[in-house]
């Protein structure tokens, strides 16, 4: 389906990644690669579940400052379109069950670009208040940092 951007409710980051879509997709969907960029360094990421299908669980944990791994994301995939798009939400958990703390749906879109891949992370909220909270929590810094880490990994600069 075609999604439209609502500036009152949504946040977006885009980045041109100098690598083909296939490489970006691989870094998103292969666990050993994904864990290298999904949280801002030096924090570490561990995948608990990454069931790449509609309804599949998507659960990650994070370790900051060398501490124990703590809950990070507990979400559910909604769409997995090979090398084109991933959609997931934390309004649902794996198996499409309603979640305790719903907040956002993310659409990760990859399209061809003269220099490689046009990479977009589009994040939808239920209200302007939630959008503002996410922005104040550091959306642009956080999602921007990990998009940079993803780019550096697939561009061979990591």
What is the Cα–Cα distance from 86 to 64, expressed in whole angstroms?
A: 26
Contact with a second copy (CB under 8 A) among 60, 105, 117, 149: 105
Any idea what DSSP says for residue 90? S
Binders of a second copy among residues 35 to 64 (CB under 8 A) are 51, 53-56
Contact with a second copy (CB under 8 A) among 95, 112, 128, 138: 95
Does 100 bind a second copy (CB under 8 A)? Our answer is yes
Contact with a second copy (CB under 8 A) among 35, 64, 118, 130: 130
Q: Token match 């998009």: residue?
A: 147
- Nearer CB in complex with a second copy: 4/70: 4
Q: Token match 């998507």: residue?
A: 58
- CA within 13 Å, CB half, 71: 5
Does 138 bind a second copy (CB under 8 A)? Our answer is no
Name every residue whose Cβ is closer than 8 Å to that of residue 44 and which is 6 or more positions away in sequence: 35, 62, 63, 69
- Choose the binding region for a second copy from 14-22, 89-97, 108-116, 148-156 (rule: CB under 8 A): 89-97
Backbone φ and ψ for 13, nearest 5 degrees, come out as -125, 145
Q: What is the contact surface with a second copy in residues (CB under 8 A)? A: 1, 3-4, 9, 51, 53-56, 78-79, 87, 89, 91-92, 95-100, 102-105, 107, 124-127, 130
């Amino acid at each position: 389906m075609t999604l439209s951007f609502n500036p009152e409710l949504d946040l977006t980051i885009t980045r041109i990644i100098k690598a083909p879509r296939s490489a970006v997709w691989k870094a998103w969907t292969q666990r050993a690669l994904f864990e290298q960029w999904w949280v801002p360094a030096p924090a570490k990421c561990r995948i608990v579940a990454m069931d790449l299908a509609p309804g599949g669980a998507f659960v990650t944990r994070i370790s900051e400052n060398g501490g124990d791994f703590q809950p990070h994301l507990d979400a559910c995939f909604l769409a997995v379109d090979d090398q084109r798009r991933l959609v997931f939400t934390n309004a649902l958990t794996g198996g499409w069950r309603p979640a305790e703390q719903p907040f956002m749906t993310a659409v990760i879109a990859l399209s061809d670009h003269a220099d490689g891949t046009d990479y977009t992370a589009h994040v939808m909220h239920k209200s302007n208040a939630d959008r503002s909270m996410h922005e104040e929590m550091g959306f642009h810094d956080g999602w921007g940092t990990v998009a940079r880490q993803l780019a550096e990994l697939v561009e061979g600069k990591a």
